[in-house]
Each structure stands twice: as C-alpha cells, then as structure tokens.
C-alpha cells in the first residue's frame, strides 16, 4: 500500500520510512510525519487544486495543455552591481582598449594584459543583467516538451526535454567555499529516464527551489 505525505499528498517511498515503521519522511516538504497520518492522508490526485501560494518572485499559470512557472531572478544586488560594473569595467577597458582605439595604435602586450578584464566584464555584465531583468521560465505545453528558459528581455537560452521522460524532481544544495566563507545555492534537479539530469538554479533562494521541486513532482505524479 502506498502512503502519502499529509502535507503535499505525494507518495512516500518505502526507503523513507523508519525501520520501526512508525515515521515517514517527505523529501519534498522535508517533513517527518507519523505513518498513521500518512495512511490517512489523501493522495494529491484526490485533492482539490492546490491553493498553496508560491513564494515571492515566483508565479505560475496552468492550462488544460500544460503549465508555466516564472521565477524572477531580479535582486537588490543590481543596485550595487550596475554602478560597480560601469566604474570597474568602464575604467579598466577604457584604459586598456579605449586609449588604443583613440590613438589608432595597437599594443599587443597591453591588449593581452586586458583579456582577463574583458572576460571579467562580460561575466559581471551577465550577473548584472540577470539580477535586473532575469527570469527563469519552466514550461510544458501541447508539444510534450518541458522547456527551461533562462534570460531576460526576450533573450533566452533554452534547454528542453521530453516531459514524459522527466521522472522526479528534488531540491539540491550546493556549497561553494571561497576564502573561508561559504556560499550556499539551491537548485531544483530533474531526473530523466534517459540522459543527464536537468538543473534549474534558483540561487540563494531555497524556498523557490523547494516550491518548484514540489510543484514539478506533483505534476509528474498527476500525469500518470
Ligand atoms: Zn510532502
């Protein structure tokens, strides 16, 4: 007999039940419930449409043929990044390449020296752009494809996969260590029947990753 999480209504795997058989853990809600409560819980398919409000910066729409989740990657960091980028990138590139263009003389030593600044500027621009206009769109429609689009202002980089091939969704935490300090970022990772997993990065926002994983796991479950 399949038991379901009282919170989200998704099935709980037998491996998530304690050896004593009294407690069960839902990976998507990160919640432990008694097995009795899980037995009594209604499955997602038997529940009315979800009324769980998505977290801040996340919107979703559903239709008969599919769904669309839009995550905004806009952040207050943009307020600091743009001025910083203009001064840093503008100053370094202007000094290295601007003077060469102005004088009409090519200096290969200086140009070579400037390459890391050029790469750094492009990288910084990408972050500034995403923190101002950035969106991540996860959608599935009539053509049976799941599309993950990242970008903004009409410029999107798209990954797609057959939606029927996506079998599970979970939250993954990534820790990066930098000079003694840690930065933690989160992603929703989708496992496919074939091919490598698909990763949807939500940055530092754990709540967005968790909501997205729960939502997609629910859609996968209801699809059957
Ligand atoms: Zn749950």
The stretches of the chain forming alpha helices (DSSP H) are 35-40, 77-93, 99-103, 108-133, 206-223
3-class secondary-structure state, position 62: strand
Domain with 63, as residue range(s), is 51-73+135-223
Are residues 84 and 18 both part of a single domain?
Answer: no
Residue 60 and residue 147 in one domain: yes
The model's pLDDT over 53-91, given as tens digits with 9 standing for 90+, comes to 788 889 999 888 899 999 988 888 888 889 988 888 888
The edge-to-edge listing of strands for the beta sheet with 155-162 is 58-62, 67-72, 135-140, 145-152, 155-162
Best CA proximity match to 9, nearest among 219, 174, 224: 219
- The alpha carbon of 183 and the centre of ligand 1 are apart by a number of angstroms equal to 27
Q: Compute, in angstroms, the gap from residue 219 CA to the centroid of ligand 1.
A: 14
Instruction: Please state the domain count of the chain.
Output: 3
Residue 55 belongs to domain with CATH number: 2.30.29
Taking only the tens of pLDDT, the chain with its 224 residues reads 789 999 989 999 899 999 998 999 998 888 999 999 999 998 888 877 766 678 888 999 988 889 999 998 888 888 888 998 888 888 888 888 888 888 888 888 888 988 998 898 898 888 888 888 999 999 998 899 999 999 988 889 999 999 999 999 999 998 888 778 888 889 999 999 988 999 998 877 888 899 999 999 999 998 86
Residues 197 and 140 occupy one common structural domain: yes
Among 106, 132, 158, the domain-final residue is 132
Q: How far is the CA of 86 from the centre of ligand 1 (A)?
A: 46
**How many Å lie between the centroid of ligand 1 and the Cα of residue 197?**
22
Q: Is 193 helix (H, G, I), strand (E, B) or coil?
A: coil
Distance 27 CA to ligand 1 centre (A): 7
Mean of pLDDT over the chain: 89
Q: How far away, in angstroms, is 181 Cα from ligand 1 center?
A: 32
Q: What's the rounded Cα separation, in Å, for the pair 129 and 72?
A: 12
Same-domain check for residues 139 and 69: yes
Residue in the structure block whose two tokens are 């030593």 = 109
CA–centroid distance, residue 136 to ligand 1 (Å): 24
Tell me the pLDDT tens digit for each residue of 166-181: 999 999 998 888 778 8
Pair 65, 172 in one domain: yes
Do 145 and 211 lie in one domain? The reply is yes
């Amino acid at each position: 007999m399949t038991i379901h999480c009282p919170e989200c209504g998704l099935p709980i795997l037998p491996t998530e039940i304690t050896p004593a058989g009294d407690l069960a853990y839902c990976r998507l809600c990160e919640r432990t419930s008694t097995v009795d409560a899980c037995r009594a819980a209604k499955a997602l398919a038997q529940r009315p449409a979800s009324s769980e409000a998505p977290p801040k910066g996340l919107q979703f729409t559903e239709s008969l043929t599919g769904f669309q989740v839009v995550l905004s990657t806009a952040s207050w960091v943009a307020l600091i990044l743009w001025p910083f980028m203009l001064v840093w990138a503008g100053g370094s590139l202007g000094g290295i390449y601007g003077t060469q263009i102005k004088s009409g003389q090519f200096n290969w030593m200086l140009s070579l020296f400037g390459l890391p600044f050029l790469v750094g500027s492009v990288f910084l621009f990408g972050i500034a752009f995403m923190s101002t206009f950035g969106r991540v769109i996860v959608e599935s429609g009539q053509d049976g494809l799941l599309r993950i689009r990242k970008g903004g202002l009409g410029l999107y980089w798209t990954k797609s996969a057959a939606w029927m091939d996506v079998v599970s969704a979970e939250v993954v935490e990534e820790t990066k260590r930098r000079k003694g300090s840690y930065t933690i970022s989160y992603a929703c990772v989708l496992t496919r029947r074939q091919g490598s997993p698909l990763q949807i990065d939500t940055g530092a926002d754990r709540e967005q990753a968790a909501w997205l994983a729960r939502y997609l796991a629910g859609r996968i479950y209801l699809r059957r």
